[in-house]
Amino acid sequence: MLNTYKAASDIEVLTSNCPIPGYGLVPINAFVIKGSEPVLVDTGTVVESEEFMDALRAVIDPPDLKWIWLTHTDFDHIGSLQKLLDESPQLRVITTFLGVGIMNLAAPLPLDRVHLVNPGGKITLGDRTLTAIKPPVFDNPSTTGFYDDKSGVFFSSDCFGALLSTVPQNAAELSEKDLSDGQVFWATVDSPWVHKADSVAFAKELDVIRRLDPEMILSSHLPAASRDLTERLLASLAMATTAQPFVGPDQAALQEMLKGMTASAD
Ligand SMILES: [Fe+2]
Ligand SMILES: [Fe+2]
């Protein structure tokens, strides 16, 4: 089920929760940036495409959208991409060469409707300039977040996500421990290479975000986090490099789970 809330005067969040049995909830967010050239940031999950379109219509008339910023091509980000492109011929997709290449394997993007921006590159859309940024952690080579100079918001894609037991609309409502533990765990699951990162090099990546000093961080997998949380979010990511690597349930655990499901169905 999708809900919407306002994170800033001109930014709407479209949010859903994905339960991971035994681990918690992963918030899944997309965003609408209103203004003279409205932008949809990601397009929800494949399995909830209908609900996503309903939630989108509640915050904007889809023909009013000018751009989709596709942070990356995972199934929790491309759910309504094709539908929106089919229904709204004015829409163009901001992505990378790799984003186009990966989409070619599933639902090719029309090249005349693609705008490529690499990390460090900029695009001006009406009264705002978006600067593409590769976030410190990511799970897909096409990942590109961005900084919006008008709102001061950093859209971080999967970076700064967290597994949570409850999902408020504001990350400040989470206890320090829940936020930190949830973030560290998510980073070990979603970016399992984080343990291999050189700690000095990784700290420099975190410093890039520290210097950016965004008003707010909007992650695809965390409630909205305003500036006073940035240091905590960065500290949790630094901890992830030495945290216990994630190992998923094995076949024996799956069989136990299936047994339990069969018993409860009887
Ligand atoms: Fe992802
Ligand atoms: Fe994601």
At 153-183, the pLDDT tens digits run 999 999 999 999 999 999 999 999 999 999 9
Q: Which ligand is nearest to the CA of 45?
A: 2
> For residue 257, what pLDDT band results from cuts at 50, 70 and 90?
confident
Distance 87 CA to ligand 2 centre (A): 24
Q: In the prediction, which pLDDT does 35 show?
A: 95
pTM for the complete prediction? Answer: 0.97
pLDDT at 265 over 80: no
Instruction: Evaluate whether 44 touches 28 at the Cβ level (below 8 Å).
Output: yes
Instruction: Encode burial over 189-219: b for 16+ CB neighbours within 10 A, e otherwise.
Output: bbbeebeebeeeebbebbeebeeeebebbbb
Distance 74 CA to ligand 1 centre (A): 5
| Distance between CA atoms of residues 87 and 20, nearest Å | 33
- Identify how many contiguous H helices and E strands the chain contains and give both numbers: 7, 13
Q: In the prediction, which pLDDT does 264 show?
A: 72
| Distance between CA atoms of residues 164 and 145, nearest Å | 22
Q: Please, what is the average pLDDT of the chain? A: 97
Q: Which ligand is nearest to the CA of 221?
A: 2
Distance 72 CA to ligand 1 centre (A): 7
pLDDT at 103 over 90: yes
Q: In the prediction, which pLDDT does 34 show?
A: 97
| Distance between CA atoms of residues 149 and 129, nearest Å | 6
> For residue 261, what pLDDT band results from cuts at 50, 70 and 90?
confident
Distance 71 CA to ligand 2 centre (A): 9
Q: What residues flank ion ligand 2 with Cβ within 5 A?
A: 76, 158, 220
Q: Which ligand is nearest to the CA of 28?
A: 2
Q: Which ligand is nearest to the CA of 139?
A: 1
Give the largest Cα separation in the chain, rounded. Answer: 60
pLDDT at 57 over 90: yes
Distance 218 CA to ligand 1 centre (A): 14
At 115-126, the pLDDT tens digits run 999 999 999 999
> Which residues lie across from 69 on neighbouring strands?
41, 94
